[in-house]
Structure 1
Amino acid sequence: MSKGVRLKSELPGWPQYDDAEREGLIRALEQGQWWRIGGGEVDAFEAEFAAAHGSPHALAVTNGTHALELALEVLGVGAGSEVIVPAFTFISSSQAAQRLGAVAVPVDVDPGTYCVDPAAVEAAIGPRTAAIMPVHMAGQMCDMDALGKLSADSGVPLVQDAAHAQGARWRGQRVGELGSVAAFSFQNGKLMTAGEGGAVLFPDADGYEKGFVRHSCGRPRTDRGYFHRTSGSNFRLNEFSASVLRAQLARLDGQIDTREARWPVLSKLLAEIPGVVPQALDARGDRNPHYMAMFRVPGITEERRARVVDTLIERGLPAFVGFRAVYRTDAFWEVAAPELTVDELARRCPHSEALTRDCVWLHHRTLLGSEEQMHEIAAVVADVLAGA
């Protein structure tokens, strides 16, 4: 165990739960139907999640990756088409397109917010572009003004990857009020969780109905004769997970309030550490759930950053290295990759290249700690970087 400055008290744990989750699980158990066809928990969760995010329709699914894949499929994305994705994101963003046979086209991100650069998106739009996928990195919403205009002018639909953005707002508008499809994740580390799970918001009933049929093996809700209308898969969420998510959703706003209060404190303290640059905020994103407390250490090597993260973990912080640019993974090149080399993509994405080397993030439970703990966290980061 490394010596040096450590946290004086443990940070809040994650996931968080109480009797609301217990009661929900018992409620799901005792209703006698444990899948969504015949049960009531998934339907209730969809209605509550849609209302919380300002959308007319929500479809609960098995996980966030499937949410993205289903959203793209409903929009007609498939072989022969392209989907523009940020180069700096979790691999699911690109794989959701590639699993449908579409080519994922990585573009660069803003070096401050880590969100996709609208100018890079515009430059990448071509005759085969079927969708643009902005990723609301760590809860900071992308420039939805610029991206919305690009979508309207080009006719290419947006698919918001909102895996980090439950409860987020852009200029007072919730994710579901922005007029485009949005996909969410409820994986174990996310802002609300049932271990796994996901959801898709649809701005129209037609999209929701297409999504429902495809997420249920191509089978309409009322079918009794196995008349499968379309291709599809089984992306249905179960009743137990939905009951837990209903409880998680009920406490989301309070947790966001806490993180919104803590990030300005921690960000200011991190910025005072030599060599540390916290993630920038776009003030138009006026409700940020802060899925991650992210910062950069420009000039650090990947090897040194890995040692820093290991030491932060030893000192009591839930720390992680930043995402690797999607094109710097073997998975990206397995199927439906662009006709460009890694070096060519790297030249197009200098900011994503730098983030691959120098970004560090702390799990959002750090921001559920006390204000005093924000000072302790900054002291640990400063001590570890000084001694690395």
Structure 2
Amino acid sequence: MDVSQEAPKFPEWPQFDDAERVALGRALEQGQWWRMGGGEVSAFEREFAEYHGSEHALAVTNGTHALELALQVLGVGPGTEVIVPAFTFISSSQAAQRLGAVAVPVDIDPGTLCLDPAAVEKAVGPRTAAIMPVHMAGHVADMDALEKLSADSGVPIVQDAAHAHGARWRGRRVGEFGSVAAFSFQNGKLMTAGEGGAVTFPEQGLYDEAFLRHSCGRPPTDRGYFHQTSGSNFRMNEFSAAVLRAQLARLDSQIETREQRAPLLSGLLSGIDGVEVQTRDERADRNPHYMMMFRVPGITEQRRNRLVDALIERGLPAFAAFRAIYRCPGFWETGAPQETVDEMAARCPVTEAVYTDTVWLHHRTLLGTEHQMHRIAEIVSDTLGSL
């Protein structure tokens, strides 16, 4: 293969055009730049909730705060436990730990890389206050099994949907499962304002409490500083919301393109000796493809990292996979189970392999041309062969 060819020029990210420019001007000219006086945040919440099939959405400062707020309104706090995937960005566990709860990591499915329901079932105990599936790379976790487990145990689900804007499972959108879901709008996400987050709620009571807690315990009409609950300031500003309204408007077309490109690239990568691509459960009938993830089973972590560096040098926006959360020093600072790293590793064998042998490509690659999908596969194949 001729690797001397010019590196692919993928679409830039974030994407923006006059829609964002007009939106920012609209927010600027309204004269009120915070949510209590302006209209952009409230409008975005209505549009985002409707898009995801939810009764309510609350815009917040970032995706980590979205998770923390979602857990808090469900009663997570000291003396409770939250089941999280061992393979995820560490916000999933830290949101619980910041509330004084214990985060309990469990293993993932080796194909979809989402939370393994069988592992969850073994971990549910008397102190379990929430189960947090992460819709990894846009692939919805097995919500059939998890919803049954939630119903049988009485433990609520909090969906970490940071990768899953616009995703569906058997025709159901993320907001249609009857559980709380948290989203992120960080710079690399499928829609972004640089930072930001949102929580969708299936009923009014949870939304009302979340609103209080995201605004220092203060009702929206309060003029006398009657702070009804404890809380913090997680409010989104008007400029971010204005940008996100424009981002949401083009999300469908971007997902359509990625859904067209992903099967092609997945097939090409799967044809490379030693490469295994994240699988897709056909019940996940819409995947927005936050990442194109592939494994190289048997590769060492150091060699995987050299692979990532080499792919970047050849023009691919490549990244190493998330580290197992129990192998991060920050996980052990507070709210960790009474287990050693080795004990957690022994009960999370899939995570142990995946975090060392997985590479992901940024979703902007899937906004490229069909020719570029072939070029990606050529680069991956040649680079692997030359390590």
TM over 0.5: yes
**Which residue number in structure 2 is paired with residue 250 of structure 1?**
249
C-alpha change, 1:372 and 1:59, in structure 2 (3 Å) is same
**Pair 1:118-2:124 in alignment:** no
- CA deviations over 1:248-277 (Å, ceiling 9, x no partner): 000000000000000000000000111000
Between the aligned partners of 1:289 and 1:94, the Cα distance in structure 2 is 24
Give the match for residue 205 of structure 2: 206
Q: Report the counterpart of residue 106 of structure 1 in structure 2.
A: 105
Give 1:4 deviation, angstroms: 3.7
Distance 2:120 2:30 in 1: 48
Distance apart, 1:356 and its partner CA: 1.1
> What is the aligned partner in structure 1 of residue 83 from structure 2?
84
| Contact preservation (8 Å) 1:5, 1:315 | no
CA distance in 2, matches of 1:7, 1:104: 46
CA RMSD for the aligned pairs?
0.8
Q: Which amino acid aligns with 1:222?
A: T
Q: Secondary structure at the match of 1:182?
A: strand
> How far apart, CA to CA, are the structure 2 residues paired with 1:335 and 1:9?
44
CA offset at residue 42 of structure 1?
0.1
Match of 1:43 in 2: 42
Deviation for aligned residue 1:7:
5.0
> 2:366 — aligned with what?
367
Q: Secondary structure at the match of 1:83?
A: strand
What SS class does the counterpart of residue 269 from structure 1 fall into? helix
Q: Secondary structure at the match of 2:84?
A: strand
Note the 1:220-369 alignment, pairs <5 A. Answer: 220-369=219-368
Could you tell me how far apart the structure 2 residues matched to 1:38 and 1:121 are? 44
Contact 2:7 2:315 in 1 (8 A): no
Supply the AA of the counterpart residue of 1:266: L
Whole-Å separation in 2 of the counterparts to 1:341 and 1:155: 29
CA contact (8 A) 1:141 1:285 kept: yes
Q: Deviations over 1:306-339 (max 9, x none)?
A: 1000010010000000001100000000001100
Q: Secondary structure at the match of 1:367?
A: helix
Q: Which runs of 5+ in 1 are unaligned?
A: none
Deviation at residue 29 of structure 1 after TM alignment: 0.2
Contact 2:8 2:316 in 1 (8 A): no
Structure 2 CA distance for aligned equivalents of residues 11 and 384 of structure 1: 19
Q: Is the 8 A contact 2:255 2:288 kept in 1?
A: yes
- The amino acid of 1:275's aligned partner reads G
Q: Determine if the alignment matches structure 1 residue 171 to structure 2 residue 184.
A: no
Report the Cα distance in structure 2 between the residues aligned to 1:310 and 1:206, rounded to whole angstroms: 48
AA paired with 1:335? T
CA displacement at 1:9 relative to structure 2:
3.5
Q: What percent identity do the matched residue pairs reach?
A: 75
Aligned residue pairs total 386
Whether the 8 Å CA contact 2:54–2:200 is kept in 1: the answer is yes
Partner of 2:30: 31
Read off the aligned partner of 1:312 and give its amino acid letter.
L
What SS does the aligned partner of 1:285 have? coil
Counterparts of 1:102 and 1:282 in 2: how far apart (Å)? 32
Contact preservation (8 Å) 1:216, 1:234: yes
Counterpart residue number, 1:137:
136
1:6/1:316 contact within 8 Å kept = no
User: Residues 136-166 of structure 1: CA distance to partner in whole angstroms, max 9, x if unpaired?
Assistant: 0000000000000000010000000000000
SS in 2 for 1:105: strand
Amino acid at match of 1:211: A
Does the C-alpha gap of structure 1 residues 282 and 30 become closer, same or farther in structure 2, counting only changes over 3 Å?
Answer: same
- Following superposition, the deviation at residue 83 of structure 1 comes to 0.0
Q: Deviations over 1:23-76 (max 9, x none)?
A: 000000000000000100000000000000000100000000000000000001
Q: Distance in 2 between matches of 1:123 and 1:64?
A: 28
Kept in 1: contact 2:7–2:314 (CA 8 A): no
Q: Which letter does structure 2 place at the counterpart of 1:202?
A: F
Assess if the C-alpha contact under 8 Å between 1:131 and 1:159 holds in 2: yes
Contact residue 261 and residue 367 of structure 2 kept, 8 A: yes
Q: Say whether the 8 Å CA contact 1:137–1:164 is kept in structure 2.
A: yes
